[in-house]
């Protein structure tokens, strides 16, 4: 199998506290990887390092075999890695459709020269993107809310919308930070099915989640981490029954 | 009649300044108090070119815009990395630096004595000299500025600016080069402000550094906030109100010395009143001081 993402010996310390301690892992193509562990285990730090929001102290990140360590976040998105945030982030004042339209990459209309000299091209791409955005919203049952400011959506809908934004960015690898935490059961099912569909389309997904049932249900492989280290790795069943994991949770 | 035309010309100049500043403050959320500095750069570049090199007006106008934009880039690249408040201080420092240069480089800028006798604009052999002709020129340039800015804010580029204003982290997460967008819009704002400077210099035919102080920057910010940040029409309304309103004081019969002070008080009072009761200005969509709304919405779950 292709290893789409590979990290080697990542270290990251905050004021002496290890958030990542010699952390190495990989994500295969077409795989859903669960990242679990107690609060402060370094899961979100791992996302931040991979997506360029935080520089690592040392270690390497490879995407499709190419080194992407310490690249700017926007370049990493362009390479094909998109993420969501634990503390919901969307442009709350822009409407739902605009949030999705914002997420498309390489838009001619986002260049100043394009704004004034490529009117037709902009209208064309904008129309194409709009169609794609509308079909994405239709697929996720958000169509009716297309013209609502994103801030007016319910918590669950906003979480779903932030995943839609990753899809619009045409990511090959999605990093989802607690996609179903604090969400009602029907929305949970919706998000579950969206994630499974993405896998079917050949994408890779890494999920941070405390909801163990969700992890068991959806993940092909699970990594358990604590204090920045990989404690256990394997199928969901293996990790769940690993004595080291049980010990860490009981501590 | 000339008096009314004079007021209208001033309204056009301040419309250009406030519309261009609105791109930064209202749309991108970067509060610059160096706008008068770019206004001054435009005025001085055009005036010096016309006086020393006797180059034609349109060339001076173009060069003033380019110079201001380049200076905008030089200032913007390092300072736009700074977080909100620190950026404001950086632009304040730049504003002071420009004023000091204009005030102290006596051989070049005339220092505190300023530059008198700036020739009136000549466009394709047609000399603009009467108030009415100036109003037409200023009006056309104001319309151009408005058109240019509205083209930007309605484009996908403008959508990114709003995103940057609301959440820089999310903007990066959807693949936008936030730093580059900020610098670009800062350059545009600076270049457009220079247009106002060129009109002012050629209209008054005399400039000195006191026209381009931090007080002037704050006046332009007041127009943007009172008119409505994040709405270009608001900036036009704001310019009309803030330029015309104090003129009414002339007819109240106050002595000149008092009227000038009352004017300052009026601006200050208006700003406070708007910040308290109508932070989005007359017709703005971006409430300037209420940006601290609670981001964490409760789960519905």
Q: Looking at the predicted structure, is the pLDDT value of residue A124 above 70?
A: yes
Average pLDDT over residues A26-48: 92
pLDDT confidence bin for B189, thresholds 50/70/90: very high
Per-residue burial over B95-114, b = 16 or more CB atoms within 10 Å of its CB, e = otherwise? beebbebbbeeeeebbeeeb
pLDDT tens readout for residues A147-194: 999 999 999 999 999 999 999 999 999 999 999 988 999 999 999 999
DSSP secondary structure code for residue B250 in this structure: G
Q: Is residue B289 classed as helix, strand or coil in its secondary structure?
A: coil
Average pLDDT over residues B20-35: 94
> Cβ atoms within 10 A of the Cβ of B86, count?
11
Do B24 and B30 touch, CB atoms closer than 8 A?
yes
B281 within a domain of the structure (yes/no):
no
Query: Long-range contacts: B137-140, Cβ < 8 Å, 24+?
Result: B137/B199, B138/B9, B138/B12, B138/B13, B138/B199, B138/B203, B139/B8, B139/B12
Q: Do B170 and A89 touch (CB under 8 A)?
A: yes
Q: Show which of residues 184-203 on chain B sit within 8 Å of chain A, judged by CB atoms.
A: 184, 188
Instruction: Determine the distance from the C-alpha atom of residue B219 to the mean position of all C-alpha atoms in its chain, rounded to a whole number.
Output: 9
Which residue of B73, B161, B173, B296 is the best one to mutate when testing the A interface, meaning the one whose CB has the most A CBs within 10 A? Answer: B173
Residue B129: per-residue pLDDT: 87
Closest Cβ opposite residue A169 in set B160, B171, B175: B175
**Interface membership of A91 toward B (CB under 8 Å):** yes
Residue B245: per-residue pLDDT: 83
Q: How far is B187 from chain A (nearest CA, A)?
A: 11
Query: Bridge partners of A10?
Result: A23
**Interface membership of B182 toward A (CB under 8 Å):** no
B160 within a domain of the structure (yes/no):
yes
For residue A183, give the chain B residue with the closest CA. B301
Top-confidence residue, A39 or B5: B5
Q: Looking at the predicted structure, is the pLDDT value of residue B69 above 80?
A: yes
Q: H or E segment at A159? A: helix A155-168
Q: How many contiguous H segments (helices) and E segments (strands) does chain A have? A: 10, 10
Residues of B in Cβ contact (< 8 Å) with A184: 300-301
B187 within a domain of the structure (yes/no):
yes
Q: Looking at the predicted structure, is the pLDDT value of residue B48 above 50?
A: yes
Query: Long-range contacts: A73-78, Cβ < 8 Å, 24+?
Result: A73/B172, A73/B173, A73/B175, A74/B172, A74/B175, A74/B176, A74/B177, A74/B178, A76/A50, A76/A51, A76/A52, A77/A51, A77/A105, A77/A169, A77/A171, A77/B172, A77/B173, A77/B174, A77/B175, A78/A105, A78/A106, A78/B175
Q: Do B162 and A122 touch (CB under 8 A)?
A: no
Q: What is the CATH number of domain A3-250?
A: 3.40.50.300
Q: Do B297 and A88 touch (CB under 8 A)?
A: yes
CA distance B78 to B66: 19
Top-confidence residue, B283 or B43: B43
Residue A40: per-residue pLDDT: 86
Calculate the alpha carbon distances from B188 to A226, B34, B71, B193, B284 in Å. 49, 14, 11, 9, 21
Phi/psi class of residue A141: alpha, beta or left (left: φ > 0; alpha: ψ in -120 to 50)? left
Q: Do A103 and B177 touch (CB under 8 A)?
A: no
Residue B72: per-residue pLDDT: 96
Residue A251: per-residue pLDDT: 61
Q: How far is A37 from chain B (nearest CA, A)?
A: 22
Say if residue B247 is exposed, middle or buried (CB neighbours under 10 Å; 0-12, 13-18, 19+): middle
pLDDT tens readout for residues B249-261: 777 777 777 777 8
Residues of B in Cβ contact (< 8 Å) with A108: 156
Q: Looking at the predicted structure, is the pLDDT value of residue B286 above 70?
A: no
Percentage of chain B modeled with pLDDT above 90: 71
Lowest mean pLDDT among A34-43, B94-103, B276-285: B276-285
Per-residue burial over B126-158, b = 16 or more CB atoms within 10 Å of its CB, e = otherwise? eebeebebbbebbeebbeebbebbeebbebbbb
CA distance B129 to B49: 19
pLDDT confidence bin for A250, thresholds 50/70/90: low
Q: Looking at the predicted structure, is the pLDDT value of residue A30 above 80?
A: yes
Residue B299: per-residue pLDDT: 38
Q: Looking at the predicted structure, is the pLDDT value of residue A204 above 90?
A: yes
Residue A248: per-residue pLDDT: 78
Q: Looking at the predicted structure, is the pLDDT value of residue A121 above 60?
A: yes
Residues of A in Cβ contact (< 8 Å) with B176: 74, 102, 110
Q: Looking at the predicted structure, is the pLDDT value of residue B60 above 80?
A: yes
Residue B293: per-residue pLDDT: 43
Top-confidence residue, B217 or A40: B217
Lowest mean pLDDT among A232-236, B10-14, B60-64: A232-236
Q: Count up the domains in chain B and report the number.
A: 1
**Interface membership of A77 toward B (CB under 8 Å):** yes
CA distance A226 to A203: 27
Quote the domain boundaries for residue B169.
Answer: 2-211
Average pLDDT over residues A230-242: 90
B126 within a domain of the structure (yes/no):
yes
Closest Cβ opposite residue A90 in set B152, B159, B170: B170
**Interface membership of A48 toward B (CB under 8 Å):** no
Taking alpha carbons only, the member of B131, B140, B143, B108 closest to residue B202 is B131
ipTM over 0.85? The verdict is yes
B198 within a domain of the structure (yes/no):
yes
Q: Is residue A142 classed as helix, strand or coil in its secondary structure?
A: coil
**Interface membership of B170 toward A (CB under 8 Å):** yes
pLDDT confidence bin for A50, thresholds 50/70/90: very high
For residue A107, give the chain B residue with the closest CA. B156
Average pLDDT over residues A138-144: 93
Q: What is the DSSP string of A57-108?
A: SEEEEEETTEE-TT--HHHHHHHTEEE--SS----TTSBHHHHHHHH-SS-G
B9 within a domain of the structure (yes/no):
yes
Residue A1: per-residue pLDDT: 56
Q: How far is B196 from chain A (nearest CA, A)?
A: 21
Q: How far is B157 from chain A (nearest CA, A)?
A: 4
Q: Do A103 and B174 touch (CB under 8 A)?
A: yes
N- to C-terminal Cα distance for chain B? 67
Residue B288: per-residue pLDDT: 54
B282 within a domain of the structure (yes/no):
no
Average pLDDT over residues B119-132: 89
The two structure tokens encoding residue B95 = 């504003």
- Calculate helix-pair angle for B2-22, B214-227, nearest 10 degrees: 80
Average pLDDT over residues A105-134: 91
Percentage of chain A modeled with pLDDT above 70: 99
Do A23 and A7 touch, CB atoms closer than 8 A?
yes
Closest Cβ opposite residue A105 in set B173, B175, B299: B175
DSSP secondary structure code for residue A220 in this structure: S
Average pLDDT over residues B29-42: 95
pLDDT tens readout for residues B229-238: 899 999 999 9
CA distance A176 to A179: 6
pLDDT confidence bin for B140, thresholds 50/70/90: very high
Residue B205: per-residue pLDDT: 92
What does the domain layout of chain A look like in residue ranges? Answer: 3-250
pLDDT confidence bin for A105, thresholds 50/70/90: very high
Average pLDDT over residues A89-99: 92
Do B146 and B236 touch, CB atoms closer than 8 A?
yes
Q: Is residue B176 classed as helix, strand or coil in its secondary structure?
A: coil
């Amino acid at each position: 199998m292709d290893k789409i993402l590979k990290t080697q010996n990542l270290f990251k310390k905050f004021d002496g506290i290890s958030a990542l301690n010699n952390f190495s892992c990989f994500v295969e193509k077409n795989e859903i990887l669960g990242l679990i562990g107690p609060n402060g285990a370094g899961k979100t730090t791992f996302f931040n390092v991979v997506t360029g929001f935080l520089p690592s102290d040392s270690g390497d990140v490879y995407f499709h075999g190419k080194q992407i360590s310490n690249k700017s976040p926007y370049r990493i998105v362009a390479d094909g890695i998109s993420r969501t945030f634990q503390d919901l982030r969307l442009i709350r004042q822009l409407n739902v459709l605009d949030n999705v339209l914002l997420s498309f990459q390489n838009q001619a209309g986002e260049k100043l020269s394009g704004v004034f000299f490529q009117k037709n091209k902009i209208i064309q791409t904008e129309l194409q993107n709009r169609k794609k955005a509308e079909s994405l919203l239709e697929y996720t049952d958000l169509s009716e809310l297309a013209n609502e400011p994103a801030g007016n959506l319910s918590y669950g809908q906003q979480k779903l919308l932030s995943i839609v934004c990753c899809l619009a960015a045409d990511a090959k690898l999605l990093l989802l930070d607690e996609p179903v935490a604090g969400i009602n059961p029907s929305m949970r099912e919706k998000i579950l099915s969206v994630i499974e569909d993405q896998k079917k389309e050949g994408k890779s997904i890494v999920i941070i989640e405390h909801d163990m049932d969700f992890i068991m249900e959806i993940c092909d492989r699970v990594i358990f981490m604590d204090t920045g280290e990989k404690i256990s790795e394997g199928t969901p069943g293996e990790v769940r029954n690993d004595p080291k994991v049980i010990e860490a949770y009981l501590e | 009649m000339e008096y009314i035309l004079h007021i209208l010309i001033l309204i056009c100049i301040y419309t250009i300044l406030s519309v261009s500043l609105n791109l930064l403050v209202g749309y991108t959320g970067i509060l610059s108090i160096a706008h008068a500095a770019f206004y001054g750069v435009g005025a001085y570049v055009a005036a010096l070119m016309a006086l020393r090199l006797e180059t034609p007006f349109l060339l001076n106008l173009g060069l003033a815009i380019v110079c201001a934009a380049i200076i905008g880039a030089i200032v913007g690249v390092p300072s736009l990395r700074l977080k909100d408040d620190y950026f404001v201080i950086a632009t304040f420092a730049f504003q002071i630096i420009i004023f000091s240069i204009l005030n102290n480089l006596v051989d070049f800028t005339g220092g505190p004595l300023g530059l008198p006798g700036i020739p009136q604009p000549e466009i394709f052999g047609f000399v603009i000299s009467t108030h009415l002709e100036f109003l037409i020129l200023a009006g056309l340039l104001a319309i151009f500025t408005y058109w240019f800015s509205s083209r930007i804010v309605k484009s996908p580029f403008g959508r990114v600016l709003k995103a940057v204003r609301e959440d820089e982290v999310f903007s990066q997460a959807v693949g936008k080069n936030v730093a580059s967008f900020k610098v670009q819009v800062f350059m545009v704002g600076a270049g457009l402000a220079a247009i106002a400077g060129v009109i002012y210099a050629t209209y008054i035919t005399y400039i000195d550094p006191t026209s381009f102080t931090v007080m002037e920057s704050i006046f332009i910010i007041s127009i943007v906030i009172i008119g409505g940040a994040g709405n270009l029409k608001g900036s036009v309304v704001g310019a009309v109100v803030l330029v015309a309103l104090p003129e009414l004081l002339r007819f109240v019969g106050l002595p000149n010395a008092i009227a000038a002070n009352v004017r300052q008080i009026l601006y200050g009072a208006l700003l406070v009143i708007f910040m308290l009761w109508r932070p989005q200005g007359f017709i703005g969509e971006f409430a300037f001081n209420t940006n601290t709304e609670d981001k964490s919405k409760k789960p519905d779950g």
